Amino acid sequence: MSSPPSKRIKIEAEPEQTSTDGVNNQATPVTTWGEKSVGISEYVNASIPGFSAIIKQRYSDFLVNEIDLEGKVLHLNDFSLPTSTPLEPPKEEVPLLSLEESISNLSDILGDANAPQEIQKLLETKGTEPPFVLIDVIDDKEKRTEIHRFFRNAFDRKLITEASEGRIKVRYVAEGIDKRDKKFQRKRNDWNISEGDFCRFILHKENKDTMEAVNMLSKIMKMSSKIFSYAGTKDKRGVTVQWVTGYHVKAERLAGLNKRLRGMQLGNFGYCKEKLDLGDLKGNHFSIVLRDVVVESEEIIDKAVTTIKDQGFINYFGMQRFGSSGAPTHTIGKALLLGQWEQAVNLILMPREGEKGDIAEARKEWAQNQDAKKALEIFPRKCVAETHVLSTFAKSGQNRDFLGAIKMIPRNLRMMYVHAYQSYVWNHMVSQRIQRFGCDKPVVGDLVVVNDSELKEIEEIDADENMEDEVSRTVSVKVLSADDLSQYTIYDVVLPMPGFDVQYPEHEIGIKYHELMTQDGLDPKDMRRNVKEFSLPGSYRKFMSKPENVTWKTMRYTDPEATLSQSDLDVLAGVPEPTGEPDGERLALRVSFSLNSSQYATMALREILKTETTGSFHLALSQKNSQAVQ
């Protein structure tokens, strides 16, 4: 069925990013940029024509339901409270050992003749030299429990133990009190649930990112946000469903918040022994509405969606990775990798085209007067990088320490910049690989991962902002020979994120890494830096992705604000699934699919539409379409 005649206007892709090179260009506004500038240029099947449609016109058009490690798609469908079993009364406390008894028993407990001397020094120096002692422990849970129990009843409780990357760390605490645990002391004493220390619940949120939602919960509950953990962050513009765990938080208290929450609901409560860590998910299921579809025939839609179902899409890093305005995050990352601290700061603070209000005024104040205190007063607190940098400058006066200011930016944000540069290089190399060899089969010199579970571990490390840089990222890869080609498919092929601990393809794409990064003054094989956290070991990423559970349907509607999707809350409220209007003036496409973690739904939509996926592009398209029909 063909679409009705339309006066809507098609718009061309945005102009690419204007230059941001040079240290003294902080007063020059930065424009938005397009996909090609960050390496996104190819399609799996360019022969199928694209069509015009708007992504995320309403946040309710983008539904995301987390898929847990068992492969279950999460849905908020239960507000009942869980049953719990009280803990048994505490057993009679074991008498404390004397200092002499504790030292004499150390060798037997730890099986290490040198342990008494190291522990004695820790006690004598009160944790100043050394600050802690690490104990190697065999993979024996009972042995670890025995060691922890021993230290709890020894040394006047001035030494405490904690797990640390497969070992036990012993720390000194003054007066036998761990000051870091004071704020949780009351909660520990009050906890009496035997099922575990954590309440697991589903967070259903609308038009809020995960961190914002968790911070809101913490503020209402007057608790630290650190008690909450989750498997992955979900975008702001959408309706999302995900697991969250809270340490020593009762389900009753969480359920009682629902009447006060706006744009959030909590449910499916239960208790568990382990908290969620970043990466503890299989992926996400998306249900997306594309509005104002303009296409010659719906047959084109069917062919386009069938392409991602049967052939998949190019697993590019989406535009979210590079920011939405101002200096692209990868250009800041490049400056950090080059040690150009002042340049990096200038890129963070420089004026941005299209910004208004306090943010634009603050940037202008800094660009014109370099007055850190005045600019800091104007900047909203949500501008995290800018306010941390300016706060450092405001305290130091004219003696500006640019590296010191950068180090005041939260670590996850600092690392986001350099990881964005890796993504920028990776995207370009994917496009080069497809231009040279296509995307239908492996070729000699390609790389594949020997053990897929190793690649999953790397993705979890990259997702965890708190992981230390020295964590091993070793992944075994194989360079394909002619004899190997029949054993692998294009979906096995990986390309490296540049770093000092990766192997590069042994065909011309390996050379392309060197050519591109040399232009930026970097060497892909020499990614160690004097500032340790900016030393990049690298990792690997599959360059083709095939979504699962792909379904789609078209519907007509007239009201541009009509609801065309059904959230979990709609299901609970008995709101029927929207079916559209048979004679509606507008056409929408509703497409659903499941992706693994770290894959971008917008890149799947890009393969369908053959248009830009930037938010500014679709905002402009929405505005022009609205003007055309008025």
In contact, 390 and 381? CB cutoff 8 Å? no
In contact, 448 and 493? CB cutoff 8 Å? yes
The residue to which tokens 């946040």 are assigned: 59
Angle (CA) 394 399 404, round 5°: 75
Which residues, at least 6 apart from 387, have a Cβ–Cβ distance to it below 8 Å?
376, 379, 381
The residue to which tokens 């002042």 are assigned: 342
- 371 is an active site residue: no
Give the whole-angstrom CA distance, residue 376 versus residue 365: 10
* Other CB atoms within 10 Å distance of the CB of residue 88: 8
- Radius of gyration of the chain from its Cα atoms, rounded to whole angstroms: 27
Which residues, at least 6 apart from 315, have a Cβ–Cβ distance to it below 8 Å?
430, 541, 542, 543, 544, 545, 599, 600, 603
SS3 state at 96: coil
SS3 state at 281: coil
Cβ-based burial of 179 (10 A; exposed 0-12, middle 13-18, buried ≥19)? exposed
SS3 state at 325: coil
Residues forming a β-bridge with 205: 240, 264
Give the whole-angstrom CA distance, residue 235 versus residue 231: 13
In contact, 135 and 168? CB cutoff 8 Å? yes
Cβ-based burial of 46 (10 A; exposed 0-12, middle 13-18, buried ≥19)? exposed
In contact, 377 and 391? CB cutoff 8 Å? no
Q: List, in sequence order, every beta strand (DSSP E) within 295-425.
A: 313-314
Which residues, at least 6 apart from 279, have a Cβ–Cβ distance to it below 8 Å?
231, 232, 456, 459, 460, 461, 463, 464, 597
Q: Residues 112, 178, 209, 235: which is the catalytic one? A: 235
In contact, 317 and 328? CB cutoff 8 Å? no
Structure-block tokens of residue 78 = 């239960």
Smallest CA-to-CA distance from 352 within 325, 385, 387 is with 325
SS3 state at 486: helix
Structure-block tokens of residue 399 = 């003696």
Convert 612-622 to b/e letters by CB count within 10 Å (16 or more is b).
bbbbbbbebbb
Smallest CA-to-CA distance from 286 within 557, 14, 558, 550 is with 550
Which residues participate in catalysis according to the annotation? 235
